[in-house]
Structure 1
Amino acid sequence: MSVAGLCEICGSESVEDACDRCGRLVCLDHFDPSTGLCTKCLAEFGKSKEEDRERPDGVDEYQF
């Protein structure tokens, strides 16, 4: 969804979406399309935009 306005995190004029949780208008740098959340909401959940989605628990090997 494309929206008009300034990014509410960095002030950029290239707003592309709104956070599904808080409704902030954000640019692509501050939006995670896979979760629909802005980077501020992701930070509240302890995740980052760059986090590996293939390993949701952050572990790549298990030892038994």
Structure 2
Amino acid sequence: MHDTAERLEVAEAILHRSAEESPDPAAATRLHSLGDQVTAQAKNIGRRADQIEQPSVERDHAPGRSR
């Protein structure tokens, strides 16, 4: 999942760069907006990946669970 988030961040940078280079202000606005949406998704995916990788305290210390 972290790899997916990193790839989305690359796509986001490309979108923002394309927006800066666009001669059409409306297209530039749309590209920046899309880049921001991609950034938000990348951050969400990164957070979910972090949660999956961290062991659950409740699960590890559940009653009856041997250590």
What TM-score do you get using the length of structure 1 for normalisation? 0.28
Which is helix-richer, 1 or 2?
Answer: 2
Higher relative contact order (CA 8 A, sep 6+): 2
Q: Which has the larger radius of gyration?
A: 2
